[in-house]
Structure 1
Amino acid sequence: MRIHKYFTSKVFLIQILIAFAIIAVLAYLFMHWLTFTTDHGHEIEVPNLAKLTEEQVEEKLDELDLDYVLLDSVDYRSQFPKYSVVEQDPLPGTKVKVGRKIYIKINSSGFSSVKIPDLIEKTYREAVPTLKALGLEEGTITYIPNLGKDMVLELRYKGRNLKAGDRVLKASKIDLVLGDGKASYVDESEATDSTAVPNETPNDEQ
């Protein structure tokens, strides 16, 4: 009976309420601590780092409590300043937490050079993809009389003929001289008739 009276007494009920209050306070403090340590709900928008130098990137990210990692330099891109950011990950506008690393790639100082492959007597369809794979661009197309339709007869750069093994800078425009598929020779019978020397008639006096 005494135990029954204790469980129904005001003292027991007050102790139960105090215990629930302590648990609630501890739970609140734990959740607050967890939120603080994980930066829950505190995100930063990644800025656009394109065309910034590495020094400018470091300064800008320091202000936002972000860090960066330089991965590598890429082939020169004329639309970006030398040694400036051309690629970043995460992309601009992405939401990240404090201390997140932003991975960047830097533009190189200029175009590298490539060797001209042997494309003479290759077809236009074969030559153009090969040039583009090397980072070169298709320039002016010129046709001259030749039996080989769309066959590459010459490669030119700024007016000079190129041969296999010559080096040019990437992004250079290579002009192509192609065959027009038309006969470039003169019919043999016509050539014989036009070059034949007429027979001399004997001198009557002789």
Structure 2
Amino acid sequence: MSVISFLKSKAFFKQLAIAVVAVVVIVFLMLKWLDITTNNGKFETVPDLTGKSIKVAEIELKQNNLVMQIQDSANFNPDYPKFSVIEQDPKVNAQVKENRKIYITLNPSGYRKIAVPDLRQKSFRQAKPMIEALGFKIGKTTYIDNIGKNMVLSLRHKGNVLEPNTKLPKTSVIDVVLGNGNRPGGN
């Protein structure tokens, strides 16, 4: 029997019909199975976790059949309590599947510590922007007898002299001791 005559035969069309029906049945069964296993059309609402502690956030997520995943800590935000949630993904009221991971970003316990640079023998004009760029604040400026007018002689924090590379929390207030341009002990 030639190929062309086989393709025109009754047996070929019968086998083709059986194959088409089998494919349709298998696709139908797979779609039903996917509907059941993926909970098609069933969603959980993401709760608002902002400002809540880790424990409270975990409890709320479990109640909504969701999983907490701590993503990272951000820069300290004084508007939120320590170790509380400051961001979440997906956002509040998003509709997600059961057991979806909700990524949260926590507020650290305080500002990160930054090394104080060695600014001795620099002019106040140079030192001030460097101090402020690191996130510190300029406190009192004190002048003492020194030939270098407005030259930084030392930095202080809460009355203590700061050595170079001392680490202080960001936003700390640094007092600056400057020279007044007069010779020590004379005119």
What TM-score does the superposition give when structure 1 sets the normalisation length?
A: 0.54
**1:169-197: per-residue Cα shift (whole Å, max 9, x none)?**
33312234567xxx8359xxxx7xxxxxx
Question: Which residue of structure 1 lines up, in the alignment, with residue 85 of structure 2?
Answer: 85
Distance in 2 of aligned mates of 1:93 and 1:124: 52
Cα distance in 2, alignment partners of residues 92 and 63 from structure 1: 15
Moved over 6 A (4+): 145-150
- Where in structure 1 are there 5+ consecutive unaligned residues? 1-22, 192-206
Q: Mapping of 1:25-174 within 5 angstroms? A: 33-73=33-73, 76-111=76-111, 113-123=113-123, 126-128=126-128, 130-131=130-131, 134=134, 136-140=135-139, 142=141, 144=143, 151-174=151-174
| Number of the residue aligned with 1:184 | 181
For 1:117, the aligned partner's letter is P
Contact 1:89 1:103 (C-alpha < 8 Å) held by counterparts: yes
Is the CA contact (8 Å cut-off) linking 1:53 and 1:84 kept in structure 2?
yes
Confirm or deny: 8 A CA contact 1:140 1:175 kept in the other structure.
Answer: yes
Identity %: 38
Distance 1:140 1:109, change over 3 A: closer
1:133 is displaced (CA, Å) by: 6.0
Q: How far did residue 126 of structure 1 move?
A: 5.0
Q: Secondary structure at the match of 1:58?
A: helix
Does the 8 Å CA contact 1:141/1:178 hold for their aligned counterparts? Answer: no
Q: Which residue of 1 aligns with 2:7?
A: none
Letter in 2 for 1:170: K
Please list every run of 5 or more consecutive structure 2 residues that lacks an aligned counterpart in the other structure: 1-23
Q: Which secondary structure does the structure 2 equivalent of 1:86 belong to?
A: strand
Question: Helix, strand or coil for the counterpart of 1:174?
Answer: strand
The structure with the largest alpha-carbon Rg is: 1
**Who is 1:195 aligned against?**
none
Aligned length: 160
Q: After superposition, what is the alpha-carbon deviation per residue over 1:155-182, rounded to whole angstroms, capped at 9, x for unaligned?
A: 2323444332444333312234567xxx
TM-score computed with the length of structure 2 as normaliser: 0.58
Q: Tell me, what secondary structure is at the counterpart of 1:156?
A: strand
Q: Deviations over 1:115-144 (max 9, x none)?
A: 32201233556545644565x421336375
